[in-house]
Structure 1
Amino acid sequence: MKADDWIQRYENSIMNTFGRPQTVLARGAGCFVWDEDGHQYLDLLGGIAVNALGHGHPNMVKALTAQIQTLGHISNFFASSVQIEAAEKILQIVEPGGAPEGSRVFFANSGTEANEAAFKIVRARGARLAAENPGEPPRTRILALENAFHGRTMGSLSLTYKDAYRAPFEPLPARVEFIPYAMAALERAFEGERGRDIAALFIEPIQGEAGVRPLSEHFLRLAREMTAKAGALLVVDEVQTGMGRTGTWMAHHAAGIIPDVVTLAKGLGAGFPVGACVALNQEAATVLGPGMHGSTFAGNPLAAASVLTTINTIEEEGLLANAREVGEIWSREIIALNHPLISEVRGPGLLLGIGLTTPLAKPLAAELFRQGFIVNAPDTFTIRLAPPLIISAPQTRMFTKALPEILDQVAHDVEMQVSQGKPVGERREGSHHV
């Protein structure tokens, strides 16, 4: 069956929350995927930073096959040895040298659920402090950054900045104060008596949905300093940036800070849906007691096996170093194109944003896809690259070599469409694939 036929069936059976699919994929191997029409694509998005090991990695196939033959799902009335081992492995990598004594893991099914768990930790801690210190201001203020993205479920959506995501569902469960990404703004938010009612600050080390915008190490250190001084929790959302994506296990490692809570998902299971909320001190780790939170599927043996296999494979295959080295080469080679429409390349490791001088990112991403490259345009000026951690420099070079001609063609097409009064991004006929 042709991809267009499958898309028609998709539109007749699945809610239109994602818009029309670009195609229907049939299979994948390594860093490549093929659609139902047989077209091949170089996957430079990795399911939005999810497929850390690429498609069909033999270690994952073997581990999940063996696990489903033993135990698939058991509910949280029981534990499994693989779940315990996966939690222990997360605690080994979440901080250099291992997590502090008393740290604990809560397994979830996704990034937004991991952030929901963190939200509950913040709320539960605030309630506990209010009960223990009746004379103190209640810790009800929650801070996040402008342009933040922490998920789409109702609690996480409260932490997400973009009005288009929030407005249809207001009023949201919590009022969150969004502050600019600026040292002075952060200091002002905590100054004087106001700092005493802050429950937590949520931050992403790199704002992925905002266009791959890294926070400076100085800002991260100041965030840690200000929250510690105020007695507030620092929650670092590593959903997109963690698990080796930036060349270290966690992006915040570069700043040398230890947050109170870290949230993980995406690359954590290399394609299997799994998330984790990691509390990095005893207070945060124990504030949620039995019955206060839960999830039927979270941490089941299959999910745990995917976590364990992902971490072990990243270690065995040296993928942290590969992410650093290939990312540095790729950034350097894109900049070396000296293309007038490319302003910069942002981000470390294999989470890169190609900054454009004009708002061509949406039509450029569409044309790159038609030419056989899967990328993403998180905003009109940025192309996001987040390929599998196994990608090689020769593979990234395929994209880099093709980019100038495609950029020129898109710029020309857009100019012609504007001059003719046509909608920008209208599809051209004909395509070829890598």
Structure 2
Amino acid sequence: MASDAGTPSREKQLPQWLSGAIPQSLASRKPATTVSPYDANQSYLIGVRGVVSIMSFLWCFMQTFAPAAVAHSTNDTGPAYQIALRKSLSVLFWNDSLIYSSMIFLSARTICLPFLLDPSKAQLASSVFRRGLRLWFPTAAALIVVFAIFTKTLGTQYIVDFATKTQNYSMHSDMYVLPSSLTNFNSIFEMFWTTHTFSYQAGNWAFPTQTLWIVSVIFQQSYTVYTTMVIIPYTRKSWRLMGAFVFIITAWWVYSWAWFSVSGLLIADLVMNMDLKAKCQSHRALTLGVALFLMAAGFAMQFLWAGVFPDLYTAEIDYHTGLYNTGGIYTWNDATAPQLRADDYLAIMGFHVLLESSDIMQKIFRNPVFVFMGNRSYSYYLLQSIIIYTVGIKSAMPKIVDSMTDFPSASGIAFIASLLVTIVAGEVFYWLIDKPSQTFARILFAWIRE
């Protein structure tokens, strides 16, 4: 349920250790640095993020230890149970394109909320200023860990040996080894400078599973959201609704991630300013029909591409113009690059129509466990692939040195070890890096306003 413009702000207290560390001039301004508009009614969005983090971990692990069970992976042959999973559950629960598309959509859906609750100049400036800092410090920490592990200590040869031994053609064993500290610094800088071909940057290529490009897209698209949401308080609802549809269709045509980002912003606008939930609940049958139709259409295509027509999986790219690559027809058809897909979009939009109109769905995703994981999802995302490529592979290798007979049990051990270490390491990373980076960004914004 959308809250009105008068929703009271919630003060987020600084940790005691940080309160004592900051200068007195800033400490006296603590309320201004830590108070932001907050709508507790939409905490279910954090829960959705937590579920996506579970799906992301499953994809990371399955791509490494059971690639034939992953839709769209290069390993298209394998044990019968893996092929069965590939054509069924993988599409729903560890589908890489659906996962990263959901992350980008959810980012846009949530980062606009403070401004929609408080459409002031100060709130807009705060959001724009803090975004880079909030993302930069955790990403920098993750790439420093990557450099320390894969350049300075373990290397990557054991990953190549594992991929060769298990005949895994899907995992990224050809990681780029950052040769120096300067290269590592440059790769961190490039993460927040790249504007296209995101997956080919050095930081992403050095990152296990090569999924760090998502941070670059989220960062870039944040400013698409910021520049678009500014018009919301000053335009008629009907006109901006029609304008959003034109924007979304155009973004699809030119193959831009704004397709997903502006859709997330549109849903937020509908919820916050147009009482979407009440309107949907007054037409329950129609809403349910639309939501299920969209989800059915999206997942039907996903199942077809995974199980019946895998050769058509990349065909959609031919229907876009190539403004970001050729200036004309989209001829740069790289099937290994992340794709913006209509099937993912339909499934995501159908799910969110259902979510925003259903009290039951929102209650499910407000589950404290999901919300807890959602708050730590960025930490899990940055660490899980590093842990699977180190703790997971290292714990499995001793059991498959002589024979692959014990590989299933080795995979089970690797799963438990990777999961437990990710949970613990994610909690430490959240409190030491992720959360302080958010607090520091608020303090710094307060300081530059003095």
Instruction: Answer whether TM exceeds 0.5 for this pair.
Output: no
Q: How high is the TM-score relative to the length of structure 1?
A: 0.25
Structure with more helix by fraction: 2
- Larger relative contact order, structure 1 or 2 (CA cutoff 8 Å, min sep 6): 2
* Structure number having the greater strand percentage: 1
TM-score by length of 2: 0.24
